[in-house]
Amino acid sequence: MTQKSVLIAAVAGSALLISGCEPPIGIETDQKGYRGLGLEQVQKRYLEERKRADMTIPAVQPPAASAGPRAGDIYQNVQVLGDLSIGEFNRLMNAITEWVSPEAGCNYCHVTGNFADDNIYTKVVSRRMLEMTKIINTDWNVHVADTGVTCYTCHMGEPVPQNIWFEDPGPRQAGGLAALRMGQNLASPNLASTSLPNDVFSAFFEDNPREIRVTPTTMLPEGSNPTNVMDAEWSYGLMIHMSTALGANCTTCHNTNNFPSWEHSPPQRVTAWHGIQMVRSLNVDFLNPLQPVYPDSQLGPLGDAPKANCATCHNGLQLPLDQAQMLADYPELNRVQVRGMNAAAPEAAPAYAPEPAPEGEEPSVIEPEAESEVSAATNANSAGS
């Protein structure tokens, strides 16, 4: 190889390496307090602007009268929206169609010619999703506040939300001793292709979750603090997911002067903590139990049901849908309930303020209770949700 060829190869290689680095353009730092105390927020405004450019909020459906016959008295098999008036029911069905299946229309969740028929899995799933939406808005106010969520928050015009997850078996690997990797060092697109544990969603967003631990409180991993570097890698994997899902930097929830300290953290850290509990609850109480309902084509490689993580709602923005107040236009979503059952059903979820936790530890986990079951659907005159 000539000297000139070596030079060209070196320049091309350098250009390739540099192109993999994130350009500083659009990254800004806002000072939120006295300098030297880690009170600044790093913002990637170019990412936020790109997300906003791709986002369209559907127009609000014309208002409907709340008076008149109930949908459950007129249509057949309306299980969870039966207490809405006919006008409210049809208005909400039109909105859900636009939010979830604008191309397939009513027939995405209904059998053509018999809207009352439950023999279609999408109808059974959407009915349960309506109940889940109500639980999020009424029991998880500590995370979603008054903005709340609608079907559009996750679906954004797609029948299946873009960001769902399944249990990840990881890439194929050698057998024998070489297979004992403990889930470590397997680059995964879910974690920005870092060599951290590849299936952090199963570890933190399902039942019996791992503890989120990074900084040890003792010199050695023993006694009351058995966590070690391997535990820290699982937690780092979760943090990378949250950062990517929200388009946020570590400074959104942590004070760089003292990462583990709750006392010095921005309030967003408490909101995020509730978000982790909420996602876990939704997967355990609503999404996993739907596994038998789905056809095989909708299940993951290990046969599990699709589940939610932070990206499912946030879609790259710190505030989902850039804080669009869609729920305010559809209060009917908070009136979902199985007909004949009193709204007393689910117990309120933890109205929590984090207890002062020791340095390096998170507050104790509070498991909320969520409940009930059943319905969703579409427009028209014979059937329902």
State the pLDDT at residue 48. Answer: 75
pLDDT confidence bin for 15, thresholds 50/70/90: low
pTM of the model: 0.80
Name the least confident of 76-90, 100-114, 247-261, 354-368.
354-368
pLDDT grade, residue 249 (50/70/90)?
A: confident
Average pLDDT along the chain? 82
Averaged pLDDT, 369-383: 33
Is residue 265 pLDDT above 80, yes or no? Answer: yes
Q: What is the pLDDT of residue 358?
A: 42
Whether pLDDT at 295 is above 70: yes
- Residue 54 banded pLDDT, cuts 50, 70, 90: confident
Average pLDDT over residues 290-295: 97
Residue 24: predicted pLDDT: 62
Q: What mean pLDDT is predicted for residues 157-163?
A: 96
Q: Does 333 or 345 have the greater pLDDT score?
A: 333
Whole-angstrom distance, CA of residue 38 vs CA of residue 46: 23
Alpha helices in the chain (DSSP H): 3-19, 45-53, 71-74, 86-100, 121-139, 141-144, 151-155, 200-204, 229-246, 268-282, 310-314
Please state, in angstroms and rounded to a whole number, the distance separating the CA atoms of residues 289 and 381: 30
User: Binning pLDDT at 50, 70 and 90, where does residue 302 land?
Assistant: very high
User: Which residue, among 168, 125, 133, has the nearest Cα to 287 in the 3D structure?
Assistant: 125
- Residue carrying the six token digits 């920005």: 192
Question: What would the mean pLDDT of 185-203 be, rounded to a whole number?
Answer: 81
pLDDT at 345 over 90: no
**What is the rounded average pLDDT of the residues 116-130?**
97
Provide CB contacts within 8 A for 227, sequence distance 6+.
211, 213, 216, 221
